[in-house]
Structure 1
Amino acid sequence: MSWEEMLTTVQESLITYWDGLVGSLPKLGAALFLIFLTWGAVTLARAFIRKLGSKTRMRKNLTDVLSMLAGTGLWLMGTLIALAIVFPSITPGKALTTLGLGSVAIGFAFKDTFENFLAGILILLREPFAIGDHVECDDIEGQIEEITIRDTHVRQTDGQLVVVPNHLLFQNPVTVRTNRDLRRTTIICGVAYGENVDDARSVIEAAVREVDSVRNDVKDVQVFAQEFAASSINFEVTWWTGSQPLDIRTSRDQVVAAVKRALDDAGIEIPFPYRTLTFNEPIPVREQGAQDEAA
């Protein structure tokens, strides 16, 4: 092929491409206009969701999730329709099929990421716990500071921050300690075997009811003789107080001090561990004076 023939072929190809581009301009314009309409619809949808969330006092993270889902859905629909306008052979059904086949490979490659993402959406929608709640899951215990799509930030009582993947909180049992304003707490108190059990119970009950942090106005104090221990009769002392960890520790401190003070004032003994030794054979005992005389 000569240079003239090559130039002619290139020129004809360029002319063909140009004619095709000019012929496609109306389709491209319609597709771009549709993309612009999609952008406007996404903006309006997100604004509506934020306004609705503000009126209903919806959590900000949940509002962001709903806004993201609405925007993603509208962009996907608008893009598929725009592709169908520019390339009539590509129908939305075929495009979705192609995306489905590709999503399988992507899903295997980013399994953990998608798992955390879906778990985060479900946690935000179901709201099993909220920001500020004190939770425990496996060996992690602390206060929820932030819930994102991928992970949850838990501030432990010692000040350390733990970033927990959402699938861990979604797949494992989570204890929400501050789900209610009140929580029950218990201590064990022992009295000597020589003391009157009924009198000791009455003294303990009266002492616990006088503590300010004990909510006996909501649920009564309960004191039960629990067991015959090695050196004492043990009482199980149960009462209700605030659900925050600091409330529990403060109330337990006040109750222990009040019970100790009340038992001391009543002359009721809180025994030290006693040990009784027995021997199979008599043990010979000799006085020190007799040993000196013999010497």
Structure 2
Amino acid sequence: MEPVKILIEQLKQILRGSIEMIPQIAVAVVVLVAVWGINHLAHFIFDRALTHTKLRQSLKDLFSLLITLLVWGFGLMVAAVVLFPGLTPASILTGLGIGSVAIGFAFKDVFENFLAGIIILFRREMRIGDHIECEDIEGEVTHIAIRESHIRRTDGQLVIVPNSILFKNPVVVRTDWDTRRVTVICGVAYDEDVDAARDVIAKAVSTCDTVHQDDKPIQIFAQEFADSSINFEVTWWTGSKPVDVRQSRDQVVATVKRALDDAGIEIPFPYRTLTFNGPVPVQATPHPEN
């Protein structure tokens, strides 16, 4: 029976200690309720303060998360001190410091992506809606979060990219400007007049409504002596989105082809010239009917 008495005595002590802590538990609950209200008030003030600002939504979400972490972190620390009087803020911070080192080693990649996400959110050069390319990933930025970013490829597939990849590797922002330069190669036969062909191509490109001509010139340069043609490098500016580039290239190629045909200027097929060192005998093959 002795073990039973010991167990009963321990249960009584636990119950007595729990009853004695009821006031402290009540105060801790009140503190947590107050923290909940302070958190909502802080978010209300924050939202009102940023109503008329041009701050990006992703940055607003970041600041909102930081406010929540700060308010609840402080509130939980106060509640812990109230509930366990032996604790002090200094001891709690010391414990958090030691624990954070262990957690940091265990979740190195998570924290790396978190810090990279914060830096990316403050970038002005990459925004939601931009078309980017990074590490063979190309598409539209649809969402930037703390740990990852969402890239919608042109074929509709969604790629979730860890922020550390976008931070460590070069990122090509294709829509940083509203316009982008496009180049195609157009060849004309060697028998044609180069200057006349250049004028025809220039006039044809200038008639395309997808070509921006306000402050960006159309440039046409004779590029090289190719195997079967004189090749022109035809360059113009159009919208920076991928669909804008494809539409403009389609229109320019079709218009230039039509203009060269109307002007009687040949766009040659590949030619092959065969040279023999000596005479080549030619033998006529009789027709089967003969």
**Of residues 18, 24, 42 in structure 1, which corresponds to 2:16?**
18
Contact 1:45 1:67 in 2 (8 A): no
1:266 & 1:246 partners in 2: Cα distance?
30
Alignment TM-score, normalising by the size of structure 1: 0.85
How much has 1:184 moved relative to structure 2?
A: 0.8
Amino acid at match of 1:79: L
Amino acid at match of 1:247: D
Segments of 5+ residues of structure 2 without an aligned counterpart are: none
1:274 & 1:19 partners in 2: Cα distance?
100
The aligned counterpart of 2:281 is 285
**Of residues 128, 134, 137 in structure 2, which corresponds to 1:140?**
137
Query: Percent same amino acid at aligned positions?
Result: 54
Pairwise mapping of residues 38-57 of structure 1 onto structure 2 (< 5 A)? 38-57=35-54
Alpha carbons of 1:16 and 1:72: their partners in 2 closer, same or farther (altered >3 Å)?
A: closer
Amino acid at match of 1:162: V
2:278 & 2:36 partners in 1: Cα distance?
100
Secondary structure at the residue paired with 1:204? helix
Please tell me whether residue 68 in structure 1 is matched to residue 65 in structure 2: yes
How much has 1:30 moved relative to structure 2?
A: 4.4
Segments of 5+ residues of structure 1 without an aligned counterpart are: none
2:177 & 2:66 partners in 1: Cα distance?
32
Please tell me whether residue 265 in structure 1 is matched to residue 262 in structure 2: yes
The aligned counterpart of 1:84 is 81
Pairwise mapping of residues 116-155 of structure 1 onto structure 2 (< 5 A)? 116-155=113-152
Secondary structure at the residue paired with 1:145? strand
Higher helix share: 1
**Of residues 181, 205, 208 in structure 2, which corresponds to 1:208?**
205
How much has 1:102 moved relative to structure 2?
A: 1.1
Alpha carbons of 1:41 and 1:137: their partners in 2 closer, same or farther (altered >3 Å)?
A: same
Secondary structure at the residue paired with 1:273? coil
Contact 1:228 1:234 in 2 (8 A): yes
Contact 1:135 1:177 in 2 (8 A): yes
The aligned counterpart of 2:226 is 229
Amino acid at match of 1:191: V
How much has 1:257 moved relative to structure 2?
A: 1.0
2:280 & 2:221 partners in 1: Cα distance?
45
Secondary structure at the residue paired with 2:182? strand
RMSD (Å) for aligned C-alpha atoms: 2.9
Measured against aligned partners, the alpha-carbon deviations of 1:77-102 in whole angstroms (never above 9, x if no partner) come to: 22223333444442222211211211
Alpha carbons of 1:209 and 1:29: their partners in 2 closer, same or farther (altered >3 Å)?
A: same
Contact 2:125 2:176 in 1 (8 A): no
Amino acid at match of 2:16: W
